[in-house]
Each structure stands twice: as structure tokens, then as C-alpha cells.
């Protein structure tokens, strides 16, 4: 895997985790 694909994968995973956290903790947003 190239560095660019790893960075894109990390960004996608980070966004999904952030969205899940926002859905689970709506009072903090």
C-alpha cells in the first residue's frame, strides 16, 4: 500500500469514528 492510500484510509476511519461519537454524544455538540 502506498502512503497516500494509508492517509486516505485513516481519514475515512477518523471521520466515521467522529460521526459515531457525535451520534452517541449529541449533548456535546
Instruction: Write out residues in the chain with pLDDT < 70, as ranges.
Output: 28-29
What integer pLDDT is reported at residue 1 of this predicted model? 78
What integer pLDDT is reported at residue 28 of this predicted model? 65
Within the chain, how many helices (H) and strands (E) appear? 1, 0
Look at the chain and report how many structural domains it folds into.
1
**Residue 8 · residue 15 · CB < 8 Å:** no
What integer pLDDT is reported at residue 25 of this predicted model? 86
Range of the domain at 7: 1-29
Residue owning grid cell 477518523: 14
Amino acid at each position: 500500500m502506498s502512503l497516500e492510500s494509508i492517509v486516505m484510509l485513516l481519514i475515512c476511519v477518523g471521520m466515521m469514528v467522529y460521526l459515531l461519537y457525535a451520534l452517541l454524544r449529541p449533548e456535546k455538540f
